[in-house]
């Protein structure tokens, strides 16, 4: 059985990728993800906002008492500097590359134009196989026009594209209007892959304490239809970018559905956090079993079998005319 696939121009032994999470934040668990069969791993993101916070903390600490003695100002920097800034992350990238044979995709979430370019360049120099731009910002302000939010994404991709040569994936949340146009623009601007979809924090209200809760919740399989719809609309319609599905995988069934609508790779985090990284083994084994029971000899044989380009898929328009919605 040939489970191999190509994503971002990289050859993967199978289409299941461990997406960015705490599981890909240290070398031990990255090795485990490889041992349990992951086709590739996306490292936890480098967050520029977090580094800015650390910088402010260091400024504060180093200024405390700096006036009291000439040496005081030099106590803190040496102790803190090693862990501050992007160095820890860059070490993770290079150590992960050395530790595993599967592709190591770094992930970046920056807050400034300069930050996107600077950290992308450093990540490339650290040896990442590819870079995922984790675009998390939602245009929530009442004065941000939809078109402006989309144009910002394309501009930042172009800025990074001009500076790094490694493949670039753009991980997007679903809260863009006219998503098809954005996908095409990113494709034309040089994205090697699109990751659909990022899963923004699901805020809720704690009625007991009358407070917003901001906990990270794990996904479930009921969340895949939006990804299925957009993947099926985009598959075969982009000139260059490959496609990864990113939300709601619990079992091999979700992996298979995503492949059927044209995903080149399928990512998972919640299922691995819920069941442990060993869950990768059952995802892969069950995918293989499903393929052989139906006499498919490869993942490639089912990829895109059920896109809207193929017959029978409900497009938004047919769903409307047939009264599904
Ligand atoms: C605890 C946790 C940490 C995460 N950290 C990151 C991150 O650093 N960068 C990122 O792009 N996505 C991050 N994600 C999002 C996941 O990579 C993934 O896109 C999302 O959970 C949807 O996939 P799933 O349905 O398989 O969980 C995180 C998710 C969880 C649950």
What residue owns the CA closest to ligand 1's atom 5? 21
Look up the CATH superfamily of 5-321: Aldolase class I (3.20.20.70)
- Cβ of residue 146 lying under 6 Å from some atom of ligand 1: no
Which residue in 298, 271, 242 sits closest to 18, CA to CA? 271
- Cβ of residue 242 lying under 6 Å from some atom of ligand 1: no
- Cβ of residue 24 lying under 6 Å from some atom of ligand 1: no
Q: What is d(CA 222, CA 59) in angstroms, rounded to the nearest whole number?
A: 46
168-172 and 193-196: which strand pairing? parallel
- Cβ of residue 199 lying under 6 Å from some atom of ligand 1: yes
- What does the mean pLDDT of the chain come to? 89
Contact 42, 19 (CB under 8 A): yes
Q: What's the pLDDT tens digit per position in 50-63?
A: 887 776 666 666 66
Which atom of ligand 1 is nearest the CA belonging to 134?
Answer: 11
Residue located via tokens 């328009």: 317
Mean pLDDT of 39-48: 96
HEC string of 46-74 equals: EEHHHHHHHHHHHHHHHHCCCCCCCCHHH
pLDDT at 98 (0 to 100): 98
Which residue in 178, 183, 160 sits closest to 316, CA to CA? 178
Distance, CA 48 to ligand 1 centroid (Å)?
A: 17
Q: What's the pLDDT tens digit per position in 100-145?
A: 999 999 999 999 999 999 999 999 999 999 999 999 878 778 888 8
- Cβ of residue 45 lying under 6 Å from some atom of ligand 1: yes
Which atom of ligand 1 is nearest the CA belonging to 272?
Answer: 26
Task: Enter the pTM of the model.
Answer: 0.90
Q: What's the pLDDT tens digit per position in 81-91?
A: 445 689 999 99
Which atom of ligand 1 is nearest the CA belonging to 247?
Answer: 25
Most confident option among 32-41, 59-68, 198-207: 32-41
Q: What's the pLDDT tens digit per position in 180-196?
A: 999 999 999 999 999 99
Q: Is the pLDDT of residue 273 over 90?
A: yes
Q: What is d(CA 20, CA 109) in angstroms, rounded to the nearest whole number?
A: 11
Mean pLDDT of 14-42: 98
Distance, CA 253 to ligand 1 centroid (Å)?
A: 20
Distance, CA 19 to ligand 1 centroid (Å)?
A: 6
What residue owns the CA closest to ligand 1's atom 21? 269
Distance, CA 45 to ligand 1 centroid (Å)?
A: 9
Instruction: Give percent of the chain above pLDDT 90.
Output: 74
CA R_g for the chain: 21
pLDDT at 62 (0 to 100): 62
Count CB-CB contacts under 10 A for residue 249. 29
Token output for 223: 């969340």
């Amino acid at each position: 059985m040939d489970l191999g696939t190509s994503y971002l121009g990289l050859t993967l032994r199978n289409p299941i990728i461990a997406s960015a999470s705490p599981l890909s934040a240290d070398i031990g668990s990255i090795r485990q993800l490889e041992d349990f069969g992951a086709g590739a791993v996306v490292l936890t993101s480098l967050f520029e906002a977090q580094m800015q916070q650390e910088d402010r903390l260091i400024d504060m600490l180093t200024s405390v008492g700096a006036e009291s003695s000439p040496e005081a100002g030099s106590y803190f920097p040496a102790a803190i500097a090693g862990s501050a800034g992007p160095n820890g992350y860059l070490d993770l990238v290079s150590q992960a590359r050395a530790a595993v044979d599967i592709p190591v995709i770094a992930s970046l979430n920056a807050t400034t134009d300069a930050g996107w370019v600077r950290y992308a360049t450093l990540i490339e120099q650290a040896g990442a196989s590819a870079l995922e731009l984790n675009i998390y910002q939602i245009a929530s302000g009442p004065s941000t026009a939809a078109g402006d939010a989309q144009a910002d994404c394309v501009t930042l991709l172009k800025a990074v594209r001009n500076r790094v040569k490694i493949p670039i994936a753009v991980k997007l949340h679903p809260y863009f209007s006219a998503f098809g146009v954005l996908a095409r623009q990113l494709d034309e601007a040089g994205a090697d892959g699109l990751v659909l979809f990022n899963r923004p924090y699901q805020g809720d209200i704690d009625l007991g304490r009358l407070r917003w809760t901001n906990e990270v919740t794990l996904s479930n399989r009921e969340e895949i239809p939006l990804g299925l719809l957009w993947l099926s609309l985009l598959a075969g319609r982009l000139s260059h970018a490959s496609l990864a599905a990113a939300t709601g995988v619990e079992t091999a069934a979700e992996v298979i559905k995503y492949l059927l609508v044209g995903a080149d790779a399928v990512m998972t985090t919640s299922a691995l956090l819920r069941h442990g990284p060993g869950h990768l083994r059952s995802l892969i084994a069950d995918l293989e079993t499903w393929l052989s029971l139906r006499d498919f000899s490869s993942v490639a044989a089912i990829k895109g079998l059920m896109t809207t380009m193929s017959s029978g898929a409900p497009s938004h328009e047919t769903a409307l005319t047939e009264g599904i919605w």
